[in-house]
Amino acid sequence: MQKVKFTELMLSSEMQRAIDEMGFTEASQIQSGAIPLIMEGKDVIGQAQTGTGKTAAFGIPMIEMLDAHVNEIEAVVLCPTRELALQVSNEIKKLAKYHKGMRVLAVYGGESMQNQIHDLRRGVHIVVGTPGRILDHLERKTMNLTKVKMVVLDEADEMLNMGFRDDIETILQKMPTTRQTILFSATMPKAILDIVHNYQEDPSLVKVTKTELTSANIEQGYFETVNAEKARIIHALIDTQNLKSAVVFCNTKRRVDELVATLQAEGLASEGLHGDLSQAQRNRVMLAFRNGKLKVLVATDVAARGIDVENLDAVFNYDLPHDPEYYVHRIGRTGRAGNMGKAFSFVTGRNEYRQLREIENYAKIKVDKLLPPSAKERSRLHVEKLFEKAYLSVVHDDLVKYEELVEDFCKEGFKPKQFAAALIKLSLPVIKEIKPVREEKAPRRSFGNRANSGYNKSDRKPERKKFGKSYR
């Protein structure tokens, strides 16, 4: 799919000015394909994952096609989570900055219903919200969708996974049948195709192909290990790779809570994100992560929808996703805007080894086997950091009263060298070697097209590859 510049899309001067201020010049592949089709009034299916610029792909034509002089809800965007609804509404507000009078409102649970009702009464053109809260407004008759010209189902697969299908269909039935229906989804299960059949008319498909899904800016590797060692490997990699921020994906809410407790016990600033948290808790966790107060955010796939953190250093697949497309969706959160990112996965047992091979075949990539950092390597790095701090303290701090303490200690018959050694020992953490997994012959690859998989007989035993400068 050929990319185009925004100046080639025949946009209004107001929109072009907003796009210029946001620093965008070239449209992404999903934007290049979707914007012209939506501007023509066609129903569109967009298949793309987070990080491809799909909000602008529907937000730009939506704003261009609406009339700010009409004091009615003209467009609705349905999102699976509160975080995504807020993120999408903020993005649309930036795009609509110079469209005088265009009003955008995010509605979702956990926030004041009365405040939302007040804003709706004042007049809104674009509503971005979760199905549950929009349905609440419809039942209260505080929202009227009879003038809607366009509806967007964003992350449609996740909304269906979360059980919103009945709510979505109820909402769609409250809108005119002449509306334009746009659907974006990372995957295309049967339930999505049912909605396409029932609620879209001759839709055009815009798809970011598999070869476009994996970023060249993401180094990918996996560790063959046991569950008990995963948290220690995460901690080791954060130390040796100097990772400032990382998202760890788990398949269940219980696993999220267990891992957070383990990482916190390891001394890592970590918090979890899943569906059982209140909106206030979710806001607190995300604010702390964005502000750099947390190094690690542990999340389920559903809770992570809508998370958009700049300069994310790494993604960990604590549990491999059951669907290969979700792997691509997860790791797409790192390695953005020209920055290098890293994606680490854990493999435990033959079933997960097969899952990994399915991911490789699907995304047409090779995920290399890695060795965890050794205890010696981690200890050396801690010593270097301690010596650096000590050097800076000697150069910049007034240490006279501390030198007196050294002299007092030496009066007991000890030498300064012994005192320094004791303090270093007390300052450094005790680092244990990560237990190796017994080598096993890789399971026979009976699935997929072996000719196109990039493997040969010499690949039976995965190569141990160095990952970055810190590996030995």
* Six-digit token string for 118: 């007040």
Give pLDDT tens digits for 269-300. Answer: 999 998 788 778 888 898 899 888 999 999 98
Binned at pLDDT 50, 70 and 90, residue 454 comes out as very low
Closest-CA residue to 30 (of 45, 14, 10, 15):
45
Residue 1 clears pLDDT 70, i.e. is over it = no
Residue 449 clears pLDDT 50, i.e. is over it = no
Name the 3-class secondary structure at 195.
Answer: helix
Residue 421 clears pLDDT 60, i.e. is over it = yes
Cα separations in angstroms, 119 against 69, 87, 166: 17, 18, 27
What is 214-374+434-459's CATH superfamily? P-loop containing nucleotide triphosphate hydrolases (3.40.50.300)
CB-count burial class (<10 Å; 0-12, 13-18, 19+) for 378: buried
Return d(Cα 72, Cα 147) in angstroms, integer.
Answer: 7
Give pLDDT tens digits for 228-241. Answer: 999 999 999 998 88
Give pLDDT tens digits for 108-147. Answer: 988 889 999 999 999 999 999 999 999 999 999 999 999 9
* Six-digit token string for 80: 């699976």
pLDDT at 56: 93
Same topology for domains 6-208 and 214-374+434-459, yes or no?
A: yes
Whether pTM > 0.95 for this model: the answer is no
Q: Which residue has the higher pLDDT, 291 or 427?
A: 291
pLDDT at 437: 66
Give pLDDT tens digits for 75-113. Answer: 999 999 888 898 899 999 999 999 999 999 999 988 889
Residue 43 clears pLDDT 60, i.e. is over it = yes
Residue-range domain boundaries for the chain: 6-208, 214-374+434-459, 375-427
What is 6-208's CATH superfamily? P-loop containing nucleotide triphosphate hydrolases (3.40.50.300)
Return d(Cα 359, Cα 394) in angstroms, integer.
Answer: 52
* Six-digit token string for 61: 């034509």
Q: Which backbone phi and psi does 120 adopt, to 5 degrees? A: -65, -40
Return d(Cα 467, Cα 345) in angstroms, integer.
Answer: 13
DSSP secondary structure string, 243-302?
Answer: -S-EEEE-SSHHHHHHHHHHHHHTT--EEEE-TTS-HHHHHHHHHHHHTTS-SEEEE-HH
Give pLDDT tens digits for 323-339. Answer: 887 888 888 888 776 67
Q: What is the mean pLDDT of the chain?
A: 85
Return d(Cα 74, Cα 66) in angstroms, integer.
Answer: 7
Name the 3-class secondary structure at 74.
Answer: coil
pLDDT at 283: 83
